[in-house]
Amino acid sequence: MKDKDKGLSDNKINAIFNVFKSKPNQSFNYKQVSRIVGAETDEERKHVLDILKEFTRQKTLRRATKGKFRLNVQQKSQQRRIKRVITGCVDMTANGYAFIISEDVEKDVFVSQHNLNHALHNDIVKINLYNTKRTNRFEGEVIEIIERSKQNFVGKVEISGKNGFLIPDSRQMPHEIFIPADKLNNAQNGQKVVGRITDWAKNMRSPIGEIVDVIGNPGENDTEMHAILAEYDLPYRFPTKLDLIAEHITENITDAERAERRDFREITTFTIDPDDAKDFDDALSFRIMHNGKYEVGVHIADVTHYVLPDTQIDREAAERATSVYLVDRTIPMLPERLSNFICSLRPNEEKLCFSAVFQLDEKANIISEWFGRTVIYSNRRFTYDEAQQIIETRQGDLCSEILILDKLAKILRKKRFKAGAMNFERTEPKFILDEKGKPLGMYFKESKDSNNLIEEFMLLANRKVAEYIGKSQKNKKPKTFVYRVHDTPDETKFNKLKEFVKRFGYILKPTSEEDISRALNKLMADVKNKPEANLVETLALRSMAKATYSIDNIGHYGLAFPFYTHFTSPIRRYPDMLVHRLLAQYLKNAKSAEKNYYQELCKHSSAMEQRATDAERASIKYKMVEFMQDKTGCQYEGIITGVTEWGIYVEICENKIEGMISIRGMNDDYYYFDEENYCVTGRMHNKKYTLGDKVRIKVVRSDLERKQIDFVMIADES
């Protein structure tokens, strides 16, 4: 088959490569190659020449003599003795080499670009671990790619002739992807696209691929936000067919359905949410009982009443596992009709809920608890600011109810911290955006009493649901359940944190494992409102393990709860839907659910949660760079947040925006990186810049394409 108009197919491109691979010591010109692969027309022969030039640019081929090409055979590396074979994860650098992180060895294993054998960032690989006398580090060579982390890559397409190549955005993808003309999918030169690797022959330096989606033109807000989602393999469109299916789900509640539920419609009920929220998945009810005790109902949208297991909407929700929150948009887990209308606990509407109802005394002791399905009627929708105003002024709608709940929440919060819960209250950056998504200003959102009120009752419901399942099976094998677990801090990272905070005069000396949280809480209190607060809080968080989902309960260290789950946000988290289903079954005395099914969903949900978090951070970083574009030449006070062999990272004190000072650009001395002491040092004058140092910088560049802000030290200006 001849490709007269579209260029050459993958098969012919591979055939061209195989001509040289089969005879690595022989040279060919483009006419000889054309004849061998069956390229008969002038157009096809021209494409053969273009591909030979592209292979030469990629260093797969080299020019032997004028007009002739031959395979670029790499020199075989020096023979080394294989110590053993290990498995690990690839941590790729921007320079193309990598380190393999493995539980089989203490140190990360260095692998040169040549020895990666097409392994990419986050791939799970098997490597030969070598004995080497040249350096103190472990070295290795990839011998098998066990699992690819991704096949799709986001970047800019560059057209050369009729073919093209994709230049990936990620610095951790060091290879351009060659795109044959018939696989460009109508992409135009310079556009942002999603590409997929389709073939990568063993001796080929770069892979062959195809464009699977054209995102749009660089610099446009929608294009850049969609590109961030695509980079983390997150969906940026909701399937139209699922929206159509959701349109046929009725919002009507029948008398028969009401009769099967506990009725809370006559009890005062309200929601408190951010002012821009649309999906209200939790509400509180409140009344004073005849015995003087307080009844507090935590009412959660009954999503699983509408989304049945293994339906199309359920399968899509399981795959997404979470809603994703970027700077300017929410990418929902469920169709909008469900998340913003049918399930959302909107005011003055009857809604179906799954509820946790507690009786408490005035000291917030739990007298009784009840779990089950309910029907509610929300009397009022508050924003956090409105509820805060009521707490501060002691006036307004439902003032009495809110003040009592605030009092109870503060007691619950105090008890939690006394039990060893950690208190990380990081400020959250928010942007004021125009209609095109351009940041006009930024501010920092802080938690206040109204936020804490909702948080404490959600924590109570999550904890008590987990306890009900985990503790109720006395002398019996625990039933399968989805827990939210959090392990103890990493000892090595925690010791590094202890050494680091000494630089600021803080002593972190817990006397026992249980005392670590109290020591950290004291540290957080001591650094509050100090210039180094954000840096110390960031490093403290990095010393902590990540919370994940699991069927094996180890407790939640950060909250100091021996049992904890996620029950309160089923509109935006799939594990909460799983918890609702399991709780409903166990309330009916059902047998324990199948373990492997739920453990796989826990693992997948944890991974998707991390992707969503990374995408959110990337969108914040992009908007920070965009916000600084008109600040070139401005000077700021900053604090050093990171030092590397290539640069010093500085966070501006007033807005927490981070940029980098290139070591090569520091022209008052020759600086080198001292990894052991977290600093860079000048060879001539011994000037040191270390983590936590306060410096004055000037903004010299805000590069949206690289998502990087460049600074210079004021003292180092030429």
End-to-end Cα spacing for the chain: 62
pLDDT of res. 134:
53
pLDDT of res. 513:
61
Q: Give span(s): CATH 1.10.10, the chain.
A: 10-71
b/e sequence 181-202, b meaning 16+ C-beta within 10 Å: bbbbeebeeebbbbbbbbebee
Structure-token match 């195809």, residue found: 210
Q: Nearest Cα to 158, choosing from 200, 192, 185?
A: 192
Q: Give span(s): CATH 2.40.50.140, the chain.
A: 82-147, 628-716
Q: For 10-71, which CATH class? A: mainly alpha
> What is the DSSP code string of 411-461?
HHHHHHHHTT-------EEEEEE-TTS-EEEEEEE---HHHHHHHHHHHHH
> What is the DSSP code string of 447-478?
--HHHHHHHHHHHHHHHHHHHHHHHS-TTSPP
pLDDT of res. 686:
86
E strand intervals along 446-577: 483-485, 548-550
What are the phi and psi torsion angles at 200 (to 5°)?
Answer: -150, 90
For residue 184, what is the DSSP state?
A: S
Instruction: State the SS3 of 208-224.
Output: EEEEEEEEECCCCHHHH
Q: Collapse the DSSP code of 46 into the 3-class scheme (helix H, G, I; strand E, B; otherwise coil) and give the result.
A: helix
Q: Nearest Cα to 582, choosing from 375, 374, 376, 371?
A: 371
pTM (2 decimals)? 0.85
What residues does 300 pair with on adjacent strands? 282, 354
Contact 281, 345 (CB under 8 A): yes
Structure-token match 């942002």, residue found: 192
Residues of the chain with pLDDT under 50: 1-6, 75-79, 717-718
d(CA 351, CA 73): 69
Rounded alpha-carbon distances, angstroms, from residue 564 to 40, 465, 518, 604: 69, 8, 20, 19
Q: How many CB atoms lie within 10 A of CB 363?
A: 8
Q: How many CB atoms lie within 10 A of CB 395?
A: 8
Which CATH homologous superfamily contains domain 82-147? Nucleic acid-binding proteins (2.40.50.140)
d(CA 581, CA 570): 11
**Both tokens of residue 264?**
């809370």
Rounded alpha-carbon distances, angstroms, from residue 8 to 47, 180, 301, 527: 7, 6, 55, 63
Q: Nearest Cα to 457, choosing from 449, 373, 279, 374?
A: 449
Structure-token match 């492997």, residue found: 596
CATH number of 628-716: 2.40.50.140
d(CA 663, CA 670): 8
pLDDT of res. 523:
84
The strand pair at 152-160 and 163-168 is best described as antiparallel
d(CA 2, CA 303): 54
Structure-token match 């039990």, residue found: 419
Q: At what angle do helices 42-57 and 30-37 cross, to 10 degrees?
A: 120
Q: Collapse the DSSP code of 236 into the 3-class scheme (helix H, G, I; strand E, B; otherwise coil) and give the result.
A: coil
